Structure 1
Amino acid sequence: MSPENCFLLDFETDNFPLASTCLNQSTNHSSEVPFQPGVSYAIAPAYGMLILIGLIGNITLIKIFCTVKSMRNVPNLFISSLALGDILLLVTCVPVDASRYLADKWIFGRVGCKLIPFIQLTSVGVSVFTLTALSADRYTAIVKPMDIQTNNALTRICIKAALIWILSMTLAIPEAVFSDMHQFHDKENNKTFVSCAPYPHSDGLHPRIHSMTSFLIFYIIPLSIISVYYYFIAKNLIRSAYNMPVEGNVHVRRQIESRKRLAKTVLVFVGLFAFCWLPTHIIYLYRSYYYPEVDTSALHYIASICARFLAFTNSCVNPFALYLLSKSFRKQFNNQLFCCRPRLIMKNVTECKCMR
């Protein structure tokens, strides 16, 4: 098998990190599942559609929160930061992953080999840490509303959002430092080739440490913290429902209902993140602990592609989840997307009158 064919097959056998699922990390390239040229014709358009849908949704979301004054609040600022991280992932990781099906070699050079994993891991960090901050914000609003400080609230949240980005970039620095163009040897055909990877093939311990650390920092620990927050939120809401008199204050009831809806929205975001990224973590853990012996079965081949696509899908779904859950956002979203429709209708009406 030639080095070029090895590259084309590496999506079956590579060991990709959490945020570098589109990074080429070849190991043992003997394959029982032949590469299908038709795969590129099916997956590349699907990735293109994913990028288009994700960019439309997330850019519209950010535009709404920036231009509509009534939508500028603490949760929405965090959601805007989350959308920015998703855009970053869509314009970096997804095109790089698509290139694997269209090119027979790493086309982004040594600089790209270091920069792209750094950007990708930063994006995933921003997503999960922002969801944790959103959960903490909902916990404060519902369980400890007296602790909310209204003075300069947006300024403080901007600082927190900036710190989340700084933390995510700091945690991504090792990815940029160790990722490089490493040399790999295909023992079956006695050929040597160069590929972008975060560690050389000879290192067996590094992938295990890397996969477990990524799983803990970017999945288990944040979701565990979020679970604790939501346990106390649910407990407080249940107690409030029992203690509130039947003829309670209308304003208080509306406030509680509003907070419940926001908490539900954040919980949906968290659930989508957990669902979309879990298969990627599982496959990476599996591959890292069986690093020398690569699974090249058809089941593993299909599971790898589905896990990649599902992880990328998470960067598209939040705006549409918000569209279904929030009436105010739905109204603004429709206004932004169909802003030209009233003008076209008026133009057609005017033309009809002129013809008469």
Structure 2
Amino acid sequence: MQQSKSRTVKILVAVWTLPCLAATPFLYPSEAIANTLSSKYGVITRLTCFPTFSERFRRAYFTLLFVFFYLIPLLFIGWSCFRIAKCLLTDTAMNREGALRRQEMNRRKVAKMVLVVVFAFTASWTPYFLVTIITQYQEVNFFSKGNYFFTMLCINFFAFLNSSMNPFIYVIMSTRFRNGFSRIF
């Protein structure tokens, strides 16, 4: 499908504008909360900024983030992945000799790679969004616990790691990508 230049510009504007709009509530004043963490190595006090949203707004905001930035994209990615895999895995011809056989094998490799990319996205972002949404609705305040910092550090690390995973997946699973990559470097 050939996309027009104006459609591409509209998509790019939307891709940048929507996340910026979603982040605007954090421009609202926050309060700094001191948390003291202790271990056998000593005591450390960390200041953490938390937005001063009302509980109702906070729950609605994080629920909307969960739905629009995780659940809907995940469903769309899963549906697209299923459609791509279905197209790639259907038999190209009854004759399985020569070039047609290679083409079918390449299609299957691409389908597997797409599935791995989707799995990596899901495995990376699910813990972040689950903890985020659960902490919005729980009665016991998770934020006051000493394990909050370590837990959130790990969860954020894996979520952001997803951005760098795809090139490694491509290098591992695609000979053509590997060859092209080695020609560049």
Q: TM-score band, normalised by the shorter chain?
A: 0.7 to 0.9
Q: What's the secondary structure of 2:144's corresponding residue? A: coil
TM-score, structure 2 length as denominator?
0.73
Deviations 1:194-222 (CA, angstroms, capped at 9, x unpaired) = x866x524x10112112111111121112
- 1:216-231 alignment runs, 5 A limit: 216-231=67-82
CA contact (8 A) 2:142 2:148 kept: no
- Counterpart of 1:288 (choices 132, 136, 147) is 136
1:171 alignment partner in structure 2: 18
CA distance in 2, matches of 1:290, 1:265: 38
> Structure 2: which amino acid aligns with 1:168?
V
CA distance in 2, matches of 1:210, 1:157: 34
Number of aligned residues: 172
1:318 alignment partner in structure 2: 166
- Counterpart of 2:114 (choices 262, 266, 271) is 266
Q: What's the secondary structure of 1:184's corresponding residue? A: strand
Cα 1:270–1:162 change in 2 (3 A) is: farther
C-alpha displacement of 1:228:
2.5
CA contact (8 A) 2:124 2:158 kept: yes
- 1:298-317 alignment runs, 5 A limit: 298-317=146-165
C-alpha displacement of 1:252:
2.9
Answering whether residue 65 of structure 2 is matched by residue 214 of structure 1, we say yes
> Structure 2: which amino acid aligns with 1:165?
L
TM-score, structure 1 length as denominator?
0.41
Cα 1:227–1:183 change in 2 (3 A) is: closer
C-alpha displacement of 1:322:
0.8
CA distance in 2, matches of 1:173, 1:322: 29
Deviations 1:53-72 (CA, angstroms, capped at 9, x unpaired) = xxxxxxxxxxxxxxxxxxxx
Higher relative contact order (CA 8 A, sep 6+): 1
RMSD: 3.2
| Larger Rg over CA atoms | 1
- Counterpart of 1:200 (choices 43, 52, 65) is 52
CA contact (8 A) 2:89 2:107 kept: no
Any stretches of 5+ residues in structure 2 without a counterpart? 34-47
Cα 1:160–1:292 change in 2 (3 A) is: farther
Any stretches of 5+ residues in structure 1 without a counterpart? 1-148, 187-194, 338-356
C-alpha displacement of 1:237:
5.2
Cα 1:292–1:172 change in 2 (3 A) is: farther
